[in-house]
């Protein structure tokens, strides 16, 4: 059944494109400095998420972060198609998707990408990420302690086999940029050595409690735009990604204090901080008020330099999305995924 996108959007809620900060990629292409995430299958239906994508496009979002693994690209495709019918041009959008771990074999890459394009009802993607640098998968609903018997540590030769297929996809006009995701500097240095077409984006967890300053600066020095996932500390993430020691980002006193001063939600402080720092955050929400205030926040009332410095102190190197379900048998801890062991 077709999704009902009927929605009353007051004209005064629409945010003019020229007010939204842009990032210039090394190709010269422009990308909005913030976008909408589309993953949260645990709590929301695919239709809810598609309606949020439609509403977001209508109020001014143009960067939409998708992935085949989120299993909702068909519904999001309907939202994108409806937005185009309503006059939002494809060229003004920046649509990204991701190749899932079980489709890394070279012969699978282009057919999988074509399926994503068909689902999203698009001829090309603005960027296509390799979602994780491993072929490791997990069963639906996997718990922390589950290990897939085929899981292996990072193998650069295998990664490049996949990456070179993305280079072919650029040559074929199916994608405009290549993105890496969940990488480390150690892995990325090898990719940059062996790539013909450099990645333009790197998607990574980044929020005030996990700012990754060295990796962030390294990416910028290499002309790769850092895209921040879980920019609000992912308060609604699945249970398998929760640990007792995790920091609740939105409750950090410095963030709460700044939020009070500006009369905004702590989540909005995180969005402002991310954009002012030079990231491209992709916060998720299906709630109109939330995704509207997130976008609006980057067009007004910036944080002061002193506030930006206060937020720097919130960083405790607290990774939330540790990827435990991708570990192999015998791995000591999730740190092995991040080259820390
Ligand atoms: N590359 C990867 O491996 C990877 C991994 C994770 C995520 N991602 C991408 O990044 C996106 C964002 O990350 P995320 O969903 O993990 O976390 P997030 O964006 O940090 O947090 C999302 C949650 O924050 C709350 N929120 C959003 N705006 C708010 C506002 N203005 N005021 C109050 N609360 C607000 C919402 O909770 P309520 O619903 O309770 O209001 C929402 O569910 C994903 O959707 C996905 O597209 C990519």
Q: What is the pLDDT of residues 300-310, one digit of tens each?
A: 999 999 999 99
Roughly what angle, to the nearest 10 degrees, separates helices 185-194 and 156-171? Answer: 50
Residue (of 24, 88, 84, 95) closest to 60 by Cα position? 88
Question: Among residues of the chain, what percentage have pLDDT more than 70?
Answer: 100
Question: 234: CA distance to ligand 1 center in Å?
Answer: 5
Question: 289: CA distance to ligand 1 center in Å?
Answer: 14
- What is the structure's pLDDT at 144? 80
Q: What is the pLDDT of residues 72-118, one digit of tens each?
A: 999 999 999 999 999 999 999 999 999 999 999 999 999 999 999 99
* Close Cβ partners of 11 (under 8 Å, ≥ 6 residues apart): none
- What is the structure's pLDDT at 339? 95
* CATH numbers and ranges of domains, the chain: 11-338 (3.20.20.100)
pLDDT of 135 higher than 90: yes
Is 0.85 topped by the overall pTM? yes
Residue (of 209, 205, 201, 203) closest to 269 by Cα position? 209
Tokens in use for 5?
């996108």
Looking from the CA of residue 265, the nearest atom of ligand 1 is 32
Residues with CB under 6 A from ligand 1: 37-40, 65, 131, 181-182, 203, 229-237, 265, 267-268, 282-285, 287, 290, 293-294, 321
Residue (of 66, 81, 221) closest to 131 by Cα position? 66
Pocket test for ligand 1, best of 72, 128, 133, 230 (most atoms within 8 A of CB): 230
296: left (phi over 0), alpha (psi -120 to 50) or beta: alpha
Whether 288 is catalytic is no
In the beta sheet, which residues pair with residue 98?
129
Q: What is the pLDDT of residues 8-26, one digit of tens each?
A: 999 999 999 999 999 999 9
Q: What is the pLDDT of residues 61-85, one digit of tens each?
A: 999 999 999 999 999 999 999 999 9
């Amino acid at each position: 059944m077709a999704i009902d996108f009927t929605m009353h959007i007051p004209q005064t809620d629409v945010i003019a494109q020229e007010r939204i900060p842009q990032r210039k990629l090394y190709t010269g292409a422009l990308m909005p400095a913030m976008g909408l995430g589309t993953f949260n299958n645990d709590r929301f239906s695919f239709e809810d998420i598609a309606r949020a994508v439609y509403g977001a496009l209508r109020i001014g979002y143009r960067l939409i972060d998708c992935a085949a693994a989120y299993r909702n690209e068909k519904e999001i495709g309907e939202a994108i198609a409806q937005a185009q019918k309503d006059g939002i041009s494809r060229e003004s959008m920046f649509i990204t998707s991701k190749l899932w771990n079980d489709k890394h074999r070279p012969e699978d890459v282009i057919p999988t990408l074509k399926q994503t394009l068909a689902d999203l009802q698009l001829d090309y993607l603005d960027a296509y990420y390799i979602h994780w640098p491993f072929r490791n998968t997990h069963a639906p609903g996997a718990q922390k302690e589950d290990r897939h018997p085929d899981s292996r540590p990072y193998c650069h030769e295998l990664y490049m086999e996949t990456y070179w297929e993305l280079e072919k996809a650029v040559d074929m006009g199916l994608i405009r940029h290549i993105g890496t995701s969940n990488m480390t500097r150690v892995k990325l240095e090898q990719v940059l050595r062996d790539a013909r077409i450099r990645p333009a984006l790197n998607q990574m967890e980044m929020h005030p409690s996990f700012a990754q300053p060295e990796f962030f600066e390294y990416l910028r020095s290499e002309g790769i735009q850092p895209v921040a996932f879980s920019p609000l500390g992912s308060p609604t993430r699945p249970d398998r990604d929760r640990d007792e020691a995790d920091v609740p980002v939105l409750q950090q006193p410095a963030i709460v204090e700044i939020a009070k001063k500006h009369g905004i939600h702590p989540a909005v402080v995180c969005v402002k901080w991310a954009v002012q720092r030079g990231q491209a955050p992709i916060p998720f929400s299906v709630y109109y008020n939330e995704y509207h205030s997130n976008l609006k926040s980057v067009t007004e009332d910036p944080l002061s330099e002193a506030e930006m410095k206060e937020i720097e102190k919130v960083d405790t190197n607290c990774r939330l999305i540790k990827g435990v379900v991708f570990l192999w048998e015998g791995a000591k801890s999730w740190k092995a995924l991040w080259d820390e062991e």
